[in-house]
A and B are shown apart, each in its own frame.
With several copies, the nearest count.
Chain A
Amino acid sequence: MQKIEAIIREDNFNPIKIALEEKGFISMTVSDVMGRGKQKGIALKWRAAEHRIEFLPKKKIELVVEDNDLQTVLDIICKTGKTGNIGDGKIFVMPIAEVIRIRTGDKGTEAL
């Protein structure tokens, strides 16, 4: 099993969610993060002084999937989440040793 962490634009979250849904990927965990890519963000000013808020709000999607489904999900996110402008985000994939469903105690693929 693999865990996919995708850092995406807030506005792309809904379309990605729907695209995943259509292919049957419903379960996921989402959180609000602040991100900064190569472009170094934007400097801000407050009252008369300056302070830099270079980070822009992003959505982080976490999705654990079976190895077989990995490519499908990656493709969906890439396709739907692409606007072509800087800031579209990144996807990180990492191996998962175990998954457990708390309600039943099921493990592994069963638990997904």
Chain B
Amino acid sequence: MQINNGDNAWLLISSALVMLMTPGLALFYGGMVRRKNMLSTIMMSFMALGLIGVLWVLYGYSLSFGKDFGGVIGGLNFIGLKNVGQEPSTIYATTVPHLTFMIFQGMFAIITVALITGAVVERMKFSAILVFSIIWFTIVYCPIAHWVWGGGWLTNLGALDFAGGNVVHINAGMSALALAILLGPRKGYKNGANMGPANVPFIIIGASLLWFGWFGFNAGSALTSSGLASNAFVATNISAATAALCWMLLNWFYYRPTVSGIATGAVAGLVAITPAAGFIKPIMGIPIGIGASIICFYIMRLRNKTRIDESLDVWAIHGIGGTWGALATGIFANISVNSAGVNGLINGNPILVGKQLLSIIVIWIYSFGMTWIIGKLIDITIGLRVSETEEIIGLDISQHGESI
């Protein structure tokens, strides 16, 4: 097919926007940890831009979007960007260069790996993170991306995931939980040490860049600059705004309307709308945003009552927020929005909820289980965690030889 320059402009800038989410996340996370671990936390996200950026073009794209093998994994036909050129693909995003589609997808892989690191900050060895990221990317991310988007078995099942609720958020959230349990809590956690955020303005800068970039994430996932892109764009903004507002009120109900709270609420709303943005009427962003806020807020409080130090609540926000979003897609989907979609529960098709549930369960189990295995293997080989002294000194100095 012919390249549509408008579509390509939109997809290229969307790719750039999604790229910017990773530094945004670095700041969002970096602001939340203690001063002595801020750089190390930033580094955990930033390294993904390098590492996954390279692995994606070497083999990741091929495993995810290459010729399907039994619904399970992609082939090697795109290895090293072979056959990925300036011509459109015949299957994916047929109005833009194949290279555009490839890099847009690559940005998703990068941020997914970065998201997980929120669970392991302030105590995981940098070398262990690198090794983990390589393996996890290869045997968890790529297969799931293939199942959902690359012509794998979940695509064929008919479960809907517009922009990566399953592939990115549930996946990252469950993996985060597994790693956090394996690692154990930070020294001093629930034991007097002040784990408060080092730099709240960084949290808001980070959240703002995430919100900004998410327009590329969701509206870019329309793969054209059509009405569908606008639909996803508007739905995204509505859900983020609603969830931010709602979290602020919840926060206030219990205490005060905090800046870190409203930022977290916005992110929860962005997560929840991700799988739905191109399948629902934009105004449905309101119930989805409200749901995201309430569910994630209480789940976070619950998690906080346990001994599980899932430090920056990746599971609560992305895992559970993503799960809510996937279910909400099943509830609110409306075929009039997107002819490639189907109707959901409120439009008379309860079966979609079932399919969504099935895909959720699959990802929960696969992500958690595989991450557990990879984590265990790393733990018994090179070790997951820094030494006690290193943890006390802080990871900035002990892992990276630098301080803010």
Contact = CB atoms under 8 A, between A and B. Distances in A.
Query: A and B, one complex?
Result: yes
Contacts of B35: 10, 57
B194 A48 contact: no
A68 interface: no
A10 to B, nearest CB: 7
Contact of A45 (B36, B255, B389): B255
- The list of the 6 closest CB pairs from A to B, nearest first, reads A15-B192, A45-B255, A48-B300, A14-B192, A49-B304, A51-B196
A44 B401 CA distance: 5
Interface string A45-56: 111111101001
Contact of B393 (A42, A43, A46): A42
Interface residues of B, number: 35
Contacts of A13: 194
B192 A57 contact: no
B393 A53 contact: no
Contacts of B278: none
Contacts of B188: 11, 14
A11 B393 CA distance: 10
Nearest to A13: B194
Contact of A11 (B197, B313, B392, B397): B392
B149 interface: no
Contacts, number: 77
Interface string B183-202: 00001100111111100000
B200 to A, nearest CB: 9
Interface residues on A, range: 20 to 34
B49 to A, nearest CB: 18
B403 interface: yes
A9 interface: yes
Interface in B244-278: 251, 254-256, 258, 260-261, 264
Given A11-B187, A51-B194, A57-B35, A46 B397 contact: no
B397 A42 contact: yes
A89 interface: no
B393 A45 contact: no
B197 to A, nearest CB: 6
A45 B401 contact: yes
B193 A46 contact: no
